[in-house]
Structure 1
Amino acid sequence: MIDNITIREAKFEDACKITMLKLQVWLHTYAPDGIEDEYADYLDAEITSEKTRILLENPEKKLFLAEKEGRIIACYQLDFDTQCPVQEIDAPELSVLYLSQHFHGKGVGKSLLLHAEQEVVNLGHKSIWLTAYCENHQAIHFYKRQNYQLKGKCYFEMGDSKYENLVFWKELNN
């Protein structure tokens, strides 16, 4: 575990840094073979500072940051307004858990996940769900080690393509 990590709720003025972190992590995770037109179009339209500011103003979403020495190294987002693709699951979604690759394997992701789970419990919920891209083996193994159960699959659509995602769920202790 690295020292001097703080977790705090994101503020409006963090929007640009959050956007840069999301772009960095997204490209590292999903574009290991380079940037295709489909990826560039998606990122240019969807992961922008303006969309991040809109997200930060939405009361149905909560965004938290992990910082080291005042620099954002990771973030997570809870969505309270999304429907799980697995019909019997009625819980908040952990829609984002992004961690700069430079901090992998140091306990930051686990700390953020535990923080997210506690936030969900504090807000009166008993479980949480998330999706992970089926080719993101590092994330899938991470969630399984944290006792998330595979409950189904869904598809992320980008351009003309569909990408299989796995749906994970976890019951939380109060």
Structure 2
Amino acid sequence: MAIRVAKQDDAGALAALSIEVWLHTYCRPGIPPVFAAYAQETFTPDNMAALIADKDQHLLVDGVDYAGQEGLRGYLRWSCPSKRPLPACPAAEIDTLYVRERHKGQGIGTTLLEASYADMRKAGHDAAFLVVNAENEEAVSYYLRKGFKTLGESWFEIEDGRYLNFVMQKEFGI
């Protein structure tokens, strides 16, 4: 397992990994057109390249040798958004933690989280928040096991749909 900072060459793989994980997580019964459009518009190589280039976005990737190249198995993105879902949220947010389904249970998510805490500590943060879909029981349970506490709720809106999210926080100290 090799955790490193994302580079521009990763943009295409990050886009593909994001679409795979997002659709698998949120479209279990089937893929409705609105969700397909959201994934295809949000997780593009250009959008991922822009995130990688943005000095206020921090992307860490897990890579493994695959056919003489590096294959990505997961990534974590954190930032310090100007708008937070709740007043009690700390400054740092874990925006995304995606691990391919076939690689879950191998410690990749934990290693990415630990690496992000180290980065956040270097930047002067002692806690982070994240927002997770309330129906994603696997993720909610995972974050609780990792020491996150629920702060409150927020909503994800897409077209006419509203989806309950939990806002969770983890204190990891300086």
Task: Report TM bin, short chain.
Answer: over 0.9
In the alignment, which residue of structure 2 is the partner of 1:95? 95
Structure 2 CA distance for aligned equivalents of residues 24 and 130 of structure 1: 20
Structure 1 CA distance for aligned equivalents of residues 152 and 142 of structure 2: 17
Report the AA paired with residue 76 of structure 1: L
Shift of 1:75: 0.3
In the alignment, which residue of structure 1 is the partner of 2:7? 11
Instruction: After the TM superposition, list the runs of 4 or more consecutive aligned residues in structure 1 that deviate by more than 3 angstroms.
Output: none
Structure 2 CA distance for aligned equivalents of residues 83 and 94 of structure 1: 14
Report the AA paired with residue 118 of structure 2: Q
- TM-score by length of structure 1 reads 0.94
Unaligned runs of 5+ in 2: none
Identity of aligned residues (%): 28
- Within the alignment, does 1:47 sit opposite 2:43 as a pair? yes
Report the AA paired with residue 55 of structure 2: P
Shift of 1:149: 0.5
Shift of 1:40: 1.2
**Conserved in 2, the CA contact under 8 Å of 1:42 and 1:159?**
no
Unaligned runs of 5+ in 1: none
Shift of 1:98: 0.1
RMSD (CA atoms): 1.0
**Conserved in 2, the CA contact under 8 Å of 1:91 and 1:126?**
no
- Summarize the alignment of residues 121-140 of structure 1 with structure 2, pairs less than 5 Å apart: 121-140=121-140
Shift of 1:94: 0.2
Shift of 1:82: 4.1
In the alignment, which residue of structure 1 is the partner of 2:160? 160
| Alignment size in residue pairs | 170
Which of 14, 18, 22 matches 1:22? 18
